[in-house]
């Protein structure tokens, strides 16, 4: 389905010496426990912020014609497909909120 598309994995976001801001925020806010879901959570979080910045609406956006703004509801809806068996959700929200430019 994605032949010819560009796919960015966690290895493509940053390096151990130069972390992507989302990777650094996940560490700062303990946005993981076992780490099993973490690569997907971080890649999705980066994509969520890009989607919102691009004006792509979600099911919780107030309008399909005006640009959505970052909110906890937008984040939770857009990240809803990412399941964490350890329940690190509150810390993940804090990390993504910080990267989005709002106080965590
Ligand atoms: S941190 Fe282990 S599943 Fe999410």
**Weakest mean pLDDT among 13-17, 43-47, 60-64, 84-88:** 84-88
pTM score: 0.91
Is 32's C-beta closer than 6 angstroms to any atom of ligand 1? yes
- Which atom of ligand 1 is least distant from the CA of 32? 1
Is 86's C-beta closer than 6 angstroms to any atom of ligand 1? yes
Is 85's C-beta closer than 6 angstroms to any atom of ligand 1? yes
Q: What does pLDDT average to over the chain?
A: 94
List of residues 6+ apart from 69 with CB closer than 8 A: 52
Report the 10 Å Cβ neighbour count for 13.
16
pLDDT in tens, 40-72: 999 999 999 999 999 999 999 999 999 999 999
Which domains, ranges and CATH numbers included, belong to the chain?
19-99 (1.10.150.120)
Please give the average per-residue pLDDT across 16-26, as a whole number.
96
The answer to whether residue 34 scores a pLDDT higher than 60 is yes
Is 67's C-beta closer than 6 angstroms to any atom of ligand 1? no
Cβ burial of 99 (10 Å; 0-12, 13-18, 19+) is buried
Q: Whose CA is closest to atom 2 on ligand 1?
A: 34
Q: What is the pLDDT of residue 50?
A: 96
């Amino acid at each position: 389905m994605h032949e010819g598309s560009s796919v960015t994995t966690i290895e493509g976001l940053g390096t151990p010496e130069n972390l992507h801001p989302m990777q650094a925020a996940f560490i700062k806010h303990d946005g993981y426990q076992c780490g099993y879901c973490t690569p997907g959570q971080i890649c999705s979080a980066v994509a969520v912020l890009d989607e919102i910045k691009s004006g792509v609406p979600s099911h919780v956006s107030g309008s399909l014609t005006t640009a959505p703004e970052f909110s906890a509801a937008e984040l939770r809806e857009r990240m809803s497909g990412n399941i964490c068996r350890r329940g690190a959700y509150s810390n993940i929200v804090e990390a993504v909120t910080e990267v989005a430019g709002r106080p965590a």
